[in-house]
Amino acid sequence: MKDPSELPHPSRADLKLTQVLFALSDPARLAIVRHLAAGPQEMANCCAIDPNMPKSTKSHLMKVLREAGVIRNEAKGRNRLLSLRQDDIDARFPGLLQSVLAAE
């Protein structure tokens, strides 16, 4: 019984460095990644970043991060649980996330 509301996520082996770098190269997306570094958050809470942002735009940001393999986006009741795929990124690109998160 597969949940049809599950979104596609690339497998660890399919992560592409340039795609990950691109996903991180936008200030809004990088801010989300920084937020998630502290632990998984529900989308509704996490994006206190800019409450004025239309939800379709928010959803798009998450899509870019998800398709790059940077975050996981899972259904959780009526909400979405967002989490950083730290293990996967660390496994494929050791030190990358750490240095990005440490920067300034």
Binding site residues, DNA, CB under 7 A: 3-5, 7, 22, 26, 28, 42-44, 53-64, 73, 75, 77-80
3-state secondary structure of 100: helix
Phi-psi region of 19 (alpha: psi -120 to 50; beta: other; left: phi over 0): alpha
Q: Which of residues 57-96 bind its own copies (CB under 8 A)?
A: 92-96
Kindly state the smallest distance separating residue 30's Cβ from its own copies, in Å.
6
60 binds, among DNA, its own copies, none (CB under 5 to 8 A by kind): DNA
30 binds, among DNA, its own copies, none (CB under 5 to 8 A by kind): its own copies
53 binds, among its own copies, DNA, none (CB under 5 to 8 A by kind): DNA
Instruction: Specify the residue, 4 or 94, whose C-beta has the smaller distance to DNA.
Output: 4
Q: Could you give the CA distance from residue 27 to residue 87 in angstroms, rounded to a whole number?
A: 22
Largest CA distance in the chain: 45
Q: Could you give the CA distance from residue 84 to residue 75 in angstroms, rounded to a whole number?
A: 15
Half-sphere exposure of 77 (CA within 13 A, CB side): 4
Query: Given the rule CB under 8 A, which residues bind its own copies?
Result: 17-19, 21-22, 24-27, 30, 92-96, 98-100, 102-104
